[in-house]
Every structure is written in C-alpha cells, then in structure tokens.
Amino acid sequence: MFTQPLNLDEWLLIGRAVFLVFSFVLAAVTFSAWRRAAVRQTTQALAHDEEVMKRLDALDARIVAARTLVAQVSETLERSLRADAASSRALSGYPIAIRLARGGATAQELVETCGISHSEAELVCRLHGTPQALTA
C-alpha cells in the first residue's frame, strides 16, 4: 500500500493534463463571452438599423409632402402668371385701341388689331371714337 513517489515524467504528464484542461476551460469561457458580445452587438446593430429606417421613412414622407407643396405652389404661380399675362395683354391693347378709335377705326377693326373683346371695342369706340365710327 505504500506508493512510490512520482518521477519527473509522471509530474510532467500530470502538468500537461492540467494545462490542457485549463486551456479548454479558458477557451470555452472566452468563446462564450465572445458569443454573448456578438449577440449584443448584433442586437444593437439591428436596433440602430431600425431607428435609421424610421428616420428615413419620416424623411421620405417629408420629401413627398414638400414635393406636393412645391407642385401646388408652382401650379398657383403658373396660373397667376398666365392671368397676369392675359390682363397685361388686354391692358396693353387699350391705349392702341383708344388711338385707333380716335383715328376713326371701327369696333371690328379694334377687335382684330388690339385683341380685345367686341363689347370692349364698342365701349372704346363710344368713349373715344369719332361720330362716324359710331354709325358704321
């Protein structure tokens, strides 16, 4: 029952076995910590991506609203410009129509020359025309 003391080879063998078990436990703990960190980083990245997508959706909605508003403003401006152009054309025709009426032009000539309506031409002839143009 008495055992002999261990020789150097046996001590080295036992040391290797302990070192291998310690290395395996250390690798398992390290791998487990690495895995938890990877899961945590993935979760954070997904949350960040979700937040970015929400912000992009909000920006997209704002861009659509801005485009709609710009289109409405552009349409209103175009209508206003067309109305201004039409009124300026009609207004610019009046001085010419008055001069022509004073020169004896008929209402039909004023319509064709100045681009004013027939009733406007008749009014210009009555106000500024010569008596001969009224009877014609």
Quick: pLDDT tens for 56-107. 999 999 999 999 999 999 999 998 888 876 666 556 678 888 889 898 888 8
Angle formed at CA 107 by CA 104 and CA 112, multiple of 5 degrees:
105
Q: At what angle do helices 8-102 and 107-114 cross, to 10 degrees?
A: 150
Average the pLDDT over 20-36 and give the result.
Answer: 97
φ/ψ bin of 104: left (φ > 0), alpha (ψ from -120 to 50), beta (otherwise): left
Average pLDDT score over residue span 16-32: 97
pLDDT at 83: 80
